[in-house]
């Protein structure tokens, strides 16, 4: 094998879709501290542009974005053959009852609530990377 750096087990590639700068910074810094490679998209169009170039191992998706409805964006991503089995985890502060169900129906693999629990967050991310899903076997 050519190259000096051995791949680390945590070198998964995560795309964070988040329009709030402070939330982005927090999530990015935690993920980087755990050795993940982090891509950033600050709106829905940036997310689509990013995915044109590269498909990550997991997407963390804010559902409240300035340019698109996050639910619609997830539905759209699920129609892309490259994204059909990709873990897409909503990271969102739900305003209304039924929002979680709406996220799952849109095709999210699971939901992480904002404000994120900075201690639990890395374990949650790791679980989704290992294939954990909140989607029932019947859906
Ligand atoms: Mn937002």
Whole-number Å distance, alpha carbon 66 to ligand 1 midpoint, is 7
Q: Which residues pair with 111 in a beta bridge?
A: 90
Query: Residue 20 Cα, ligand 1 centroid: separation in angstroms?
Result: 6
Query: How would you write the pLDDT of the chain (139 residues) with one tens digit per residue?
Result: 444 555 455 489 999 999 999 999 999 999 999 999 999 999 999 999 999 999 999 999 999 999 999 999 999 999 999 999 999 999 999 878 889 999 999 999 999 999 999 999 999 999 999 999 998 765 4
Please state, in angstroms and rounded to a whole number, the distance separating the CA atoms of residues 58 and 38.
10
**Cα 24 to averaged position of ligand 1 atoms, centre (Å):** 10
CB 85 within 8 A of CB 99: no
Q: Cβ(63)–Cβ(70) under 8 Å?
A: yes
The burial of 27, by beta-carbon neighbours within 10 Å (0-12 exposed, 13-18 middle, 19 or more buried), is given as buried
Write down all domains in the chain, each with its CATH number in brackets: 13-129 (3.40.50.2300)
* pTM of the complete model: 0.90
């Amino acid at each position: 094998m050519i190259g000096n750096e051995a791949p680390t087990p945590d070198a998964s590639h995560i795309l964070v879709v988040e329009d709030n700068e402070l939330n982005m910074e927090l999530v990015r810094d935690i993920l980087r501290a755990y050795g993940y490679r982090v891509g950033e998209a600050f709106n829905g169009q940036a997310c689509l542009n990013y995915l044109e170039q590269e498909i990550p191992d997991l997407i963390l998706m804010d559902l409240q974005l300035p340019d698109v409805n996050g639910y619609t964006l997830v539905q759209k991503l699920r129609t892309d053959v490259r994204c059909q089995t990709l873990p897409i985890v909503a990271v969102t502060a739900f305003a209304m009852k039924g929002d979680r169900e709406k996220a799952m129906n849109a095709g999210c693999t699971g939901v992480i609530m904002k404000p994120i629990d900075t201690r639990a967050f890395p374990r949650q991310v790791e679980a989704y990377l290992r294939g954990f899903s909140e989607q029932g076997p019947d859906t």
